[in-house]
Chain A
Amino acid sequence: MGAYVVRRLGESLLILLGISLVTFALLYLVPADPERQIAGRSATAETVANIRAQLGLDQPFHIQYARYLGNLLQGDLGRSYLQRTEVSELIAARMPATLLLMLAAIVVELILGLTIGAIAALKRNSAVDQSLMVFSFVTISAPQFVVGILLLYVFAVQLGWFPIGGYGTLAHLVLPAITIGLLGTGWYSRMMRSSMIDVLAQDYVRTARAKGLGKLRIIFRHVAPNAILPIIAMIGIDIGLFMSGIVVVESVFGWPGIGQLAWQAIQRVDIPIIMGVTLVSACFIVLGNLLADLIAPLVDPRIKLK
């Protein structure tokens, strides 16, 4: 186990290294000159060239990348071209908002997904089951910007229950968390439904039911413990989906997280910020996958870590 974790961590580092290389190369190819935006419109060609040299943008690709990597290894993500601030500081300032949103979204998808899955399993093959399952398909088929805008329209503009975007209070958190959480709800409810059906068919559950135990108690006693591990594994995978969605959701709701930071940076080709956010997101995804893989053998003993 220990050796496995060490090896996987090593692999993860290699993956992150690869991602840094690929992203850096792609950004190198983007036809936009950051130095011109820094220099402003009144700058002479000389000034622009000067800034280019200061940023090292006149160097060949491999030197630029080596320099970036060298700094990265010392924990230095560089300084934003246009905000003139340490990227790590910018990300750190916005990370709490993103983490808060991620946690809230996980809570939403667990509550909704597990409830829907459990009800569907208990009412198996009924009209309720059918409609809940169609609903779960709808949630994975709806793009987050559509869900977000519709939630805003209904619950914020028309009903006035929640603020129209922004950050600060619990009320601000609800709609964006639901928007992200709905995507996972589809997966969780289907997983919960099938694992419930499996468990309900087990002898000991039938016995328990025969003994007259209530459905709720059965769920808590027998179903829930079995479902916890796969759920944690799934949360690990979820983080990947989540990191992909934040650019859109944070921009729809005006949520001051790293997704918004990335989107603003992309518009202005602020390479250090784009690199930073990509790497931080990739770290989350890699760790999430690692978590999922570590849990897999605990869920299903037939799977071995190797």
Chain B
Amino acid sequence: MRKTFLTSVLALGTAVGPALAQDFTEAKQGGSMIVTYKDDVSTLDPAIGYDWQNWSMIKSLFDGLMDYEPGTTVLKKDLAEDYTISEDGTVYTFKLREGVKFHNGREMTAEDVKYSLDRVTNPETQSPGAGFFGSIEGYDAMAAGEADSLSGVTVIDPYTVEIKLSRPDATFLHVMAINFSSIVPKEVVEEFGPDFGKNPVGTGAFYLEDWTLGQSLTFARNTDYWNEGLPKLDQITFEIGLEPIVALLRLQQGQADIPGDGIPPAKFLEVTEDPAFKDFVIEGGQLHTGYITMNVNMPPFDNVKVRQAVNMAINKDRAVRIINGRAVPANQPLPPTMPGYAPDYEGYPYDPEAAKALLAEAGFPDGFETELYVYNTDPNPRIAQSFQQDLAAIGIKAEIRSLAQANVIAAGGEPDQAPMIWSGGMAWIADFPDPSNFYGPILGCDGAVQGGWNWSWYCNEELDAAADAADAMTDPAMAEEREAAWRDIYLKIMEDAPWVPVFNEQRFTMRSAKLGGPDSIFVDPVHVPVNYDFVYSTDVQ
């Protein structure tokens, strides 16, 4: 027996409801906008792009089978017109929308879906997202280079594709919504080979019109877009290489419409107090937690009391103040907008005296010396110095190692190198709004290996088993139970305290007066940073 279920069952959390104003869906098409970024856009290949700036660009150029309601974390069908899931949760059958065309005019079919999934899991593609597809049958053979096609993905007819999983995976529909599962046309990928990322062709709302490396990109409206009425704008220009502070000044002078990197701290007070601009400042949460990892295999952090003491020693309010209050203090790994977050959990209090006592109990009445690794871009070294002062107050002398990102990541992946790491600038931002996404690589046993991303090297077999069990609950009726299971896992982790969760960053961005659309799409939790497809221009209304 098969059954279809409403996507809203997975609609968990986020303050932003799906009740988006009607006006914007009826907004007229036309107009343009300028979006700025500091860092270069490396690639627009959906199998590879994994940066802040290219994430939502790719979402506008490509489509996947699934997507999210704009401005929310509510799953919806995208290129899939419908889908069914087998009783045991291991077979997904997607019915594709008919008449969807790639930018080159060819119709998208089930063959393209299969090709795209084969491509992203093929080791030769070197996709950083390949691991998300681990539950698809035949993935292991692909990863090992023994197969050139996923045995679990079958084309039934040109508009139907069936995906078999090797184990039930409650997050699978989310996986079908991330960039890495975007549908790409085989002939174009083969034509450009490794340069596909510079010549992207998808089915998305926009197509790439022009790209001047290191300077600017122009997206133009796909007039053939299957989703009628979208996108709203005729053109988007992305200007690259602009410092956030410069971007904001240009916006104030009317030369830019969205500062893609948000409002820089130094300008924050100014614009939020300026009557001409404060109405255009938009705040949004994000699925982010900034944390300090403590390597549980390196003494003295192998002692849980020491880790708990550190949790009580860190003044999180002060850290928040250093970044001008653009965050909320955290007490658990999951951010508040994530399903599974425990709102009633109080966490470790900031209490240096108790921390000191606990440290003495653990056998370190005079503290000890250690090292704190940190990514060497502002404000991270500053935040680290604040921690350093907090730790000194309970007798822990932490020396700061401020290094390039790649060096910190490498040190974290060694079993005995980095006793403490401040995650700032490299922290986990969830790929999709599901609690499991905060576990595997960064807190589970899988990540606690040489070269892994679990920098605290915390490995609790019991929790691993609990996590597997939770992810096997694919029945939508069990969604709440699953959420509770995950909540439990994270609270157990906090008992062992391998992390000090410090804060959840809030995003503060701005839009120019000429842009319209609900605030939530400018701080979209999934189409990070902005859901371009729904932005409209007031000039043409």
Chain A positions near chain B (C-beta within 8 angstroms): 30-34, 36-48, 50-51, 54, 79-80, 82-86, 89-90, 93-94, 97, 163-167, 254-256, 260-261, 264, 266-269
Contact = CB atoms under 8 A, between A and B. Distances in A.
A166 B143 contact: no
B390 interface: no
Nearest to B133: A42
Contacts, number: 143
Size class of the B contact interface (CB-based, 8 Å)? 35 or more
Given A41-B453, A45-B451, A31 B410 contact: yes
The CB with the most chain B CB atoms within 10 A, among A41, A47, A80, is that of: A41
Given A84-B194, A85-B198, A94-B214, A31 B241 contact: no
Interface of B: 38-40, 42-43, 45, 48, 50, 123-124, 126-132, 134, 143-145, 194-195, 197-198, 212-215, 240-243, 245-246, 249, 377, 404-407, 409-411, 413, 428, 431, 440-442, 446-447, 449-453
Given A33-B451, A85-B197, A40 B214 contact: no
Given A48-B451, A84-B197, A165 B409 contact: no
Nearest to A163: B246
Contacts of B127: 40
B198 to A, nearest CB: 6
Contact of B128 (A33, A43, A93): A43
A43 B131 contact: yes
A258 to B, nearest CB: 9
A43 B407 CA distance: 18
Contacts of B38: 254
Nearest to B248: A164
A36 B128 CA distance: 9
B243 A50 contact: no
B198 A268 contact: no
Contact of B42 (A31, A79, A83, A255): A83
Contact of B126 (A32, A38, A80, A261): A38
A83 B143 contact: no
Given A40-B131, A44-B143, A264 B413 contact: no
Given A85-B197, A164-B249, A165-B242, A41 B406 contact: no
The CB with the most chain B CB atoms within 10 A, among A40, A50, A166, A264, is that of: A40
A256 B240 CA distance: 9
Contacts of B243: 164-165, 254
Contacts of A36: 409-410, 413, 451
Contacts of A165: 242-243, 246
Nearest to B124: A54
Contacts of A47: 123, 130-131, 143
B409 A45 contact: no
A164 B245 contact: yes
A130 B198 CA distance: 56
Closest 6 CB pairs of A and B: A40-B128, A42-B131, A93-B213, A32-B406, A269-B406, A83-B42
B131 A44 contact: yes
